[in-house]
Every structure is written in structure tokens, then in C-alpha cells.
């Protein structure tokens, strides 16, 4: 089985929450690596990709179909707006990617099951963010 076929099969088996978590992990790691290597183009690319992730979430949070409580939506939208503004500064080299990485890691921490032993195997938990990302 090719790597692409394996990745596609893996994506089909993931819950939306797992897909969201994986997206945050991929983009966070890319920002960390670009920052370590001090590679300007890679940093710009990584931050831009992360910004697109947050824009996707922003669109989902604003949709009428999103079932999250309004308070949580509002807090996540506030973070999404901040990420958008801060990302522009980071892409210009005027700000560090560190705060973006920190925010993503906090979101990832919030996506982890509170008690993994209580999560049933047959029915994975629904996404806390309500997004349906396709990577």
C-alpha cells in the first residue's frame, strides 16, 4: 500500500475531533521546525498554513450548523481573530511564532479526552470545535 493510500485510509477512519487534532499537530510542528531552522520561507509557509487552519475554523464557528455553545464559539472566534492578526506580523518577521505554537498546543490539550478510558471504542467523541477539516 502506498503512503498516500495509507494516509487516505487513516483519514477515513478518523473522527472529526481526531482530524482536527492531527491538523493542529501538523501545523504546530511545521511552525516549530521552521523557527528552529531559522528558515524565513518555511516560517512564512508554516504560519500561512496555520492561519488557513484558523480561518477554516472561524468559518465553521460562524456557520449556523455549528452546535457549540455560544460562549465557547465566542472565545474560539476571539482566538481565531487574534491568530489572523498575529500571523501577519509573524510572517513579516515582526513577531515570534512562539505564541502561535503555544495557542495551538493549548487548543490541542483541550481536544484530548478528559478521561480516555471512558471514551467508547464504537462511537468516537464528537468534535469539540465542530469543524470538518479535509487535509
Instruction: Kindly report the three-state secondary structure assignment for every residue of the chain.
Output: CCHHHHHHHHHHHCCHHHHHHHHHHHHHHHHHHHHHHCCHHHHHHHHHHHHHHHHHHHHHHHCCCCCCCHHHHHHHHHHHHHHHHHHHHHHCCCCCCHHHHHHHHHHHHHHCCCCHHHCCCCCCCCCCCCCCCCC
Average of pLDDT values for 94-123? 79
Q: What is the pLDDT of residues 26-81, one digit of tens each?
A: 999 999 999 999 899 999 999 999 999 999 999 999 999 999 999 999 999 999 99
| Number of Cβ atoms within 10 Å of the Cβ of 83 | 24
Could you tell me the pLDDT band of residue 17, with boundaries at 50, 70 and 90?
Answer: confident
pLDDT confidence of residue 3: 55
Question: Are the CB atoms for 49 and 81 separated by under 8 Å?
Answer: no
C-alpha grid cell, residue 10: 487513516
Amino acid at each position: 500500500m502506498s503512503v498516500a493510500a495509507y494516509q487516505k485510509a487513516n483519514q477515513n477512519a478518523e473522527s472529526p475531533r481526531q482530524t482536527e487534532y492531527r491538523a493542529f499537530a501538523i501545523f504546530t510542528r511545521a511552525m516549530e521546525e521552521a523557527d528552529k531552522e531559522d528558515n524565513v520561507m518555511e516560517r512564512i509557509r508554516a504560519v500561512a498554513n496555520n492561519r488557513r487552519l484558523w480561518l477554516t475554523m472561524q468559518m465553521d464557528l460562524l456557520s449556523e450548523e455549528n452546535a457549540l455553545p455560544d460562549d465557547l464559539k465566542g472565545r474560539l472566534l476571539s482566538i481565531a481573530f487574534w491568530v489572523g492578526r498575529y500571523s501577519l506580523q509573524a510572517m513579516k518577521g515582526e513577531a515570534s511564532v512562539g505564541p502561535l505554537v503555544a495557542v495551538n498546543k493549548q487548543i490541542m490539550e483541550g481536544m484530548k479526552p478528559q478521561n480516555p478510558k471512558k471514551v467508547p471504542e464504537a462511537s468516537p467523541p464528537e468534535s469539540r470545535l465542530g469543524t470538518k477539516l479535509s487535509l
